[in-house]
Amino acid sequence: MNVLELSVVIFGVAAIAGFLGSLTGLGGGVVLTPALTLLFGVDIRYAIGASLVSVIATSSGAASAYVKEGYSNIRIGMFLEVATVFGAIAGAMLASKIPTSGLGVVLGVVLLISAYLSTRPHPDPSESDRGDPLAERLRLNSNYPTFRGWQHYRVERVKAGFSVMFGAGVLSGLLGIGSGAFKVIAMDRAMRIPFKVSTTTSNFMIGVTAAASAGVYLNRGYIDPALAMPVMLGVSAGALLGARQLAGAQTRILRVIFGIVVGVLALEMIWNGLTRRI
Amino acid sequence: MHWNDDRVDRMIGTVLRTGVLSAAAIVLLAGAGFLLHSGSSIPNYHSFRGEPAELRSIFGIIEGALHGRPLCIIQFGLLALIATPIIRVAFSVFAFAVQRDRMYAIITSVVFLVLLASLTGLVHPPH
């Protein structure tokens, strides 16, 4: 295949990944790196660079719609971004120290965990009035709109959430993914932030986290413009279409299909990594 | 002029939308130019070589883009995309400072400085 043909095919695959990623909430980035390495034989370092760039595009595009609705909490986001940006830089530095086969195995395992986490039910918003004194000092507690009007929430276990966020940042920088699933875990499980606030704030943060490691990747020469071009445009187009689709019965089937695709890609990444084929 | 959270949220939304749309437009146009010019060449993404210096550093990218090299213009579009969340954070620093929220102006400045250090190659020099 020449550059033109390959660009068109990669655009198509990236568009499907972006569409399913935005529809299922898993994000397109998680399947992009394995798809590029397994289907097209792209070196995993170029694949991570291209995936990272498209993560910024979809996160920023989606966040521009969410901020207006009053769900995302900028103070929570900014405070936790301190953890994710330092984590992202640590992850990006670590990426050059780990052999590509090792990166493949880690990516496969992270993919499986993300897919599993996305099927778990979310805990109900905390009814306890305790909250974390640290959250009070950092003014993280806020309100969000529900169908019964504005609802107040208190943030718990700030330190635990901050630590998980650092880990999410490391994974994002190491693998070029948004690691939204782990960000939501930190906020919704550890800190007991309402699910809707967690997901929108996470989306808001993903772009900033990815930008922190993208700088390192750019300077290191991992971002190839000819490859990143169809990936970034395809994922964005797909995500835009996915965001317009209404949730319904079809989403359930698509979630199952996407879950299977993620599982197969993950196992293949782990296998290829262990047998040193990538 | 009131700098309440609502107004700040709306402006941040505008910053993000403008950044992503202009970056996508630059990448699309330069990409089309690149494919017209060298679409029939054979790509090699299998083996990792690393990008040349002019596609790694901010100054190299801008210089190449000004010379009209398609790959540099694509890279410039990607640079604009990476810069979008950074500009968003810079905007938040400003907004918190205007609201006299010292604690969050400082927290947000830390995030901004880390992002800036990463992009300008202070963390990993581009050579």
Q: State how far residue B69 is from chain A, nearest Cα, in angstroms.
A: 12
Question: Which of B112, B114, B127 would best serve as a mutation to test chain A binding (most A beta carbons within 10 A)?
Answer: B114
- Give this prediction's pTM: 0.92
Confidence band, pLDDT 50/70/90 cuts, at residue A257? confident
Print the domain residue range for A63. Answer: 3-274
B38 contacts A221? CB cut-off 8 A: no
Residue B125 lies in a domain: no
CB atoms within 10 A of CB A32: 29
Number of domains in chain B: 1
Q: What is the mean pLDDT of residues B45-55?
A: 90
Contacts of B124 in chain A (CB under 8 A): 92-93, 215-216, 219-220
List, in sequence order, every beta strand (DSSP E) within chain A: 142-146, 149-153
Report the range of poorest mean pLDDT among A116-120, A126-130, A168-172, A194-198: A126-130
Confidence band, pLDDT 50/70/90 cuts, at residue A128? low
B9 contacts A74? CB cut-off 8 A: yes
Residue A11 tokens read as 């655009």
Print the domain residue range for B26. Answer: 5-39+50-119
Minimal Cα distance from A219: which residue of B? B126
- Classify residue A157 as left (phi > 0), alpha (psi -120 to 50) or beta: left
Contacts of B119 in chain A (CB under 8 A): 211, 214-215, 218
B84 contacts A207? CB cut-off 8 A: yes
Which pLDDT score is estimated for B36? 95
In chain A, what are the helix, strand and coil shares in percent, each to the nearest 5? 75, 5, 20
Q: Supply φ then ψ for residue B117, to 5 degrees.
A: -60, -40
Residue B74 lies in a domain: yes
Residue A68 has pLDDT above 70, yes or no: no
Report the range of poorest mean pLDDT among A79-83, A84-88, A124-128, B28-32: A124-128
Contacts of A6 in chain B (CB under 8 A): 43
Distances in Å between the Cα of B88 and the Cα atoms of A21, A71, B82, B95 are: 24, 18, 11, 10
Contacts of B94 in chain A (CB under 8 A): none
Minimal Cα distance from A213: which residue of B? B118
Which pLDDT score is estimated for A121? 72
Report the C-alpha gap between B21 and B39 in whole angstroms: 24
Question: Which of B8, B29, B48 would best serve as a mutation to test chain A binding (most A beta carbons within 10 A)?
Answer: B48
Residue B11 lies in a domain: yes
B23 contacts A68? CB cut-off 8 A: no
Q: What is the mean pLDDT of residues A164-179?
A: 94
Residue B126 lies in a domain: no
Q: State how far residue A197 is from chain B, nearest Cα, in angstroms.
A: 14
Identify residue A261 by its one-letter amino acid code: V
Report the C-alpha gap between A266 and A175 in whole angstroms: 13
Contact A18, A250 (CB under 8 A): no
Asked if A243 reaches chain B (Cβ–Cβ under 8 Å), the answer is: no
Asked if A38 reaches chain B (Cβ–Cβ under 8 Å), the answer is: no
Confidence band, pLDDT 50/70/90 cuts, at residue A124? low
